[in-house]
Amino acid sequence: MLWIPITLIAALAQTLRFAVQRRLRLSTLSSAGATYARFVYAGPLIVAGAVGYQMFQSATLPAPTSVFWIYAALGGVAQILATICVVALFALRHFTVGVTLSKTEVMMTALIGFLILGDQVTVGALVAMALGVVAVIVLSKVPLDVSITWSDLFQKATLLGVAAGALFGFCSIMYRGATLTIASDDPFLRATQTLMYVILIQSAVLTVYLAIFEPGQIRKVFQAWRVAIWVGVLSLAGSVGWFTAFALQNAAYVKALGQVEIVFSLLVSVVFFAERLTRREAWGIVLMVISILGLVLAI
């Protein structure tokens, strides 16, 4: 059950990273620039950590296979595209249905994991995950009376929402698949090696994108190093946690437990910004706790 505390730590680190990225986004950087800060500062740290851990363990890893590169590349690009879909949703007038559909990421992860990797999910776990999806929708302040009509199915927001959920689920499965191709019994070693290559791929993709479409952002990322470096540190902690959890457990279970991140976000707002929880948020947290306990008991 080691994947449980690892996932919780990863979710907390990711919550804090988003808070720092939000500060960068509101001050000097674009959305792509704030995302790039994560890779450019976390990249050197994860490379040093992965190589250092391999040397410490005196491990000799085989060269990555072609299957590994396929999993890593597809997962890295899918994660970038999923983020773009979510950002694009908020620029649309009718985005509530799309946002609601994007929250089905966990269920999509279970389906994609079964189709691609053959990962099995128990009936009890599926029920717990479904309850978790409801909790996330409640905590995300999406209107509870949202109804989907036939015309809504052809809206751009709907397509973006479905795409975001599917892409996030797909990238999780790709990352798990990549870790499973590495011949080692050490899940932390497999996770750090996979993460190192994925971050290098994503850094290269975003560097090319920014150089062509937003050239000034690269310079601004380095100018904001005093704050941006913490994005890298927190990203390192979170990503190592996610990838290690993927190496240990079914990605659908990991993503379901990882939804606790939204609870952490609310707690941060209460503790650091003195905001008060609404009755809806309190019920959402209760549903999330029940979902998590049900998931753990069902596995």
Angle between helices 123-139 and 261-273 (to 10 degrees): 30
Whether the pLDDT of residue 16 is over 90: the answer is: no
Q: What is the DSSP string of the chain?
A: -THHHHHHHHHHHHHHHHHHHHHHHHHT--HHHHHHHHHHHHHHHHHHHHHHHHHHTT--PPPPPHHHHHHHHHHHHHHHHHHHHHHHHTTSSS-HHHHHHHTTHHHHHHHHHHHHT-----HHHHHHHHHHHHHHHHHTT--TT----TTGGGSHHHHHHHHHHHHHHHHHHHHHHHHHTS--S-HHHHHHHHHHHHHHHHHHHHHHHHHHH-HHHHHHHHHTHHHHHHHHHHHHHHHHHHHHHHHHS-HHHHHHHHTTHHHHHHHHHHHHH-PPPPHHHHHHHHHHHHHHHHHHHH-
**Greatest mean pLDDT among 84-88, 103-107, 268-272:** 103-107
Write the pLDDT tens digit of every residue in 135-152.
877 776 655 555 555 555
Show the CA angle centred on residue 222, arms to residues 25 and 73, nearest 5°: 75
Lowest pLDDT segment from 81-90, 175-184, 200-209, 215-224: 81-90
Report the pLDDT averaged over residues 111-124: 89
pLDDT, residue 243, reads 92
Report the pLDDT averaged over residues 33-62: 84
Whether the pLDDT of residue 71 is over 90: the answer is: yes
pLDDT, residue 262, reads 77
Q: Which phi and psi angles does 69 have, rounded to 5°?
A: -60, -35
Whether the pLDDT of residue 101 is over 70: the answer is: no
Q: How confident is the model at residue 23 (pLDDT cuts 50, 70, 90)?
A: low
